Structure 1
Amino acid sequence: MIRLLLAEDQVLLRDALQSLLQVSEEIEVVATTGDGSEALHLATTEKVDVALLDIEMPGLTGIQVAEKLKESDTYSGKVALLTTFSRPGYIEKAMVAKVDGYLLKDEPIATLIDAIKTIDSGKQVVSTDLQPLLFSLETNPLNEREIMLLHAVKEGLSTEEIAQAKHLSEGTVRNYLSSALQKLHVTHRHEAVRVAEEKGWM
């Protein structure tokens, strides 16, 4: 019996997936949650064989949980990401995190069950529709400071407010944002936020 953790922040989808997955006599959903931080805790306390994680959750993202589980000495199970997104940046992060599966939510349930069994057996699974993206991955050109400042731009902060909040000079903030704009081939900081989000880079 495969002991599965299901982490999905949309309650209706989580309940539906739980019911459908348990149709399989080989899968037992031992824990569910809609919060990334709780998913991390449950994965390491419920003797989970496979953690199936939504990418976008409150607390911690699925990718952040995956990274922590892969680095953990107390978790020996497999990790798979479940998403509606086919953004190259997400796939790149998933591959860097060495996840065991990258699956789409709209897969037929039989396909999802087969994927979970394959992942539990020690093989890596990437949904068929996502496989072409593996050959066209773009490396994130932004550094951590640029990503941090783009998040601040997304929050609507001005250069002066960002400088105060991040304890930087206004000139330093402008330089980092200018660098981000050049790397993303855009001319406006809000355009940079849009492109970085579409790519899954922030």
Structure 2
Amino acid sequence: MGGPLRGARRHRGHLQRRPPARDRHVGAPAAHRRRRPGRRQGAHLAAPARPAAAGAVPLPLGRGEAAEGYPRPWSVHSWPEGERPAVGHLARPELLAADPAAFTAALHRVGTAGGPPAFRSEPLASRDARTRAALAHLAGEVDTRAATTAWEAALRAPDHRGPAVWIHADLQPGNLLVTGDRLAGVIDFGCLGLADHAGGCEAAP
């Protein structure tokens, strides 16, 4: 990888530049690049929507536009302290269960004026064909009858009524950082935006 992101490493949907564990500290940079042209760069949009008292979040240090062979925007952010949680390594996992809920509630209280829709804000019905195709592909590996019943029940749920709120939209263990048994930081705001409250509950299971 050349240009401004030379030396970065991939992490799921983004390219991230992260220092070795022994050198990590608040302020260590992480570089993110957008991979899909239709997706907004949530990291650029996140700053005004980040709750200040619900765990550290990456802070923007710089951003750039398409150049040197890379056709989309990129950005550099600080990296909060902490490590990703590991199953069986938390003495009191119930504490970590409560912290993302507090983070989500704080995010919901942030003003929404001018906010974009979240990456996962579309109605479930728009994912129906893809979901059924995935279930057909998994036949014999999972209980597709039970999964289809649950999916169809979700499709029958009434539409959300009321204003949209900010959601992280990807609040799963790989995007949480912990110190001890407590949430220390939240990363990867690439899907951030406005949506139904339910879109922020993916961590609940």
TM-score in terms of structure 1 length: 0.32
Structure ranking higher on relative contact order (CA contacts 8 Å, 6+ apart): 2
